[in-house]
Amino acid sequence: MGRVFVAGSINMDVVATAERHPRIGETVAGEAVLYFPGGKGANQAVASAKLGIPTTLIGRLGTDAFGRELRAFLAAQGVDLAFVKDTDGTHSGTAIITVANADNTIVVVPGANGLVDADDVAAPTLAKGDVAVSQFEIPLPTITAFFRRARAAGATTILNPAPAKAADKGLLDLVDVLILNETELGVLAGTELRDNDAPSRFAEAARALGRGKIVCVTLGKRGVLALVGDQPLLVPGHEVKAVDTTGAGDCFVGALASQLATGKPLRDALAYANAAASICVQRMGAAPSMPTAEEVENAISPRRRPGEGLDP
């Protein structure tokens, strides 16, 4: 079995719930303020670790109260924190989140996450069969350095280019599996996409990102579209009542990484990750909502054969 290494952000999510989102310049009455461990790197690491896969997180925390709380939480989830540094002179990453009708808006203040550098990602030793995961909440040159080391070691690289921003070809060429939603796909492909577009439209945009990598487009309850060797594969989603979608994408990424580290075929790994994400959205919070392996197996067992679906 391989291991999962996640280089990424660690945040405290400060969540305000309300009946609806405010318009620009408007104030609305909130219902509650909640504090949840989060950050895309931390979320993805927790998702993988709770599924029973040896998972190491690489990142930075501030030496503040949030930093201490985040470190204690992540350790309790079974995440290896040997390569998470405490950094003086800055605050821990913080996300300000508004949740209304299961939809969210997020403002991320990077803090210590913005200081994760090439030396940090050079510290762990990767090997063939491992999976290296990153996202866009740490500096892009750091991700490039991380993936170069991973490729040299024979590890599989997974990039979740979120929040959406342009990335140079040099970084994308180091990616084996690209996991993104329609917004992020539109930014990288230079086109405008909507969540209700036909699967063939997403496949066309994914092809623009170049050959040699697997592109997985997450489509919420519609499932996931994967472009593998120029051939589209549509794995259906799960119909559930969503409570909070904040960590759903990260849950999918972490779960997929965990299954690829075990050597599971892509189609089965996608179906497994879909099931994991469907559990995540039924709970509040990001990292605390990640499911266990037993919960995912229970969600899959009464359904269709793993990965069964129709190609678009």
- Determine whether the annotation assigns residue 216 to a binding site: no
Is 49 contained in some domain? Answer: yes
User: For position 174, which CATH number holds?
Assistant: 3.40.1190.20
- pLDDT score for 304: 46
- Determine whether the annotation assigns residue 40 to a binding site: yes
- Determine whether the annotation assigns residue 181 to a binding site: yes
What is the phi/psi pair of residue 164, to 5°?
Answer: -65, 130
The first and second tokens of residue 225, run together, are 């579209």
Is 229 contained in some domain? Answer: yes
Q: Which of 80, 130, 250, 268 is catalytic?
A: 250
- pLDDT score for 261: 98
Distances, alpha carbon 169 to alpha carbons 111, 145, 188, in Å: 27, 14, 10
- Determine whether the annotation assigns residue 289 to a binding site: yes
Is 82 contained in some domain? Answer: no
- Determine whether the annotation assigns residue 52 to a binding site: no
> Measured between alpha carbons, how far is 15 from 246 in angstroms, rounded to an integer?
10
Is 95 contained in some domain? Answer: no
The angle at the Cα of 128, spanning 126 to 129, to the nearest 5 degrees, equals 100
- Determine whether the annotation assigns residue 56 to a binding site: no
Is 29 contained in some domain? Answer: no
Domain that holds residue 280: 4-9+40-59+114-300
With CA atoms as reference, report the closest residue to 159 among 186, 185, 122: 185
- What is the side-by-side order of every strand in the sheet holding 30-38? 30-38, 11-18, 93-100, 103-109
Do residues 133 and 44 touch, judged by C-beta distance below 8 A? yes
Confidence (pTM): 0.90
- pLDDT score for 302: 59
Q: Name, in order, each residue with C-beta under 8 angstroms of 204's C-beta and a sequence gap of 6 or more.
A: none
With CA atoms as reference, report the closest residue to 43 among 67, 86, 73: 73
- pLDDT score for 161: 96
Is 48 contained in some domain? Answer: yes
- pLDDT score for 310: 37
Is 84 contained in some domain? Answer: no
Q: How far is CA 120 from the centre of its chain?
A: 20
- pLDDT score for 305: 46
- Determine whether the annotation assigns residue 128 to a binding site: no
- pLDDT score for 227: 92
Is 46 contained in some domain? Answer: yes
Catalytic status, residue 250: yes
- Determine whether the annotation assigns residue 280 to a binding site: yes
Low-confidence ranges of the chain (pLDDT < 70): 302-312
Number of domains in the chain: 1
The DSSP code for 101 is T
What is the phi/psi pair of residue 192, to 5°?
Answer: -100, 130
- Determine whether the annotation assigns residue 86 to a binding site: no
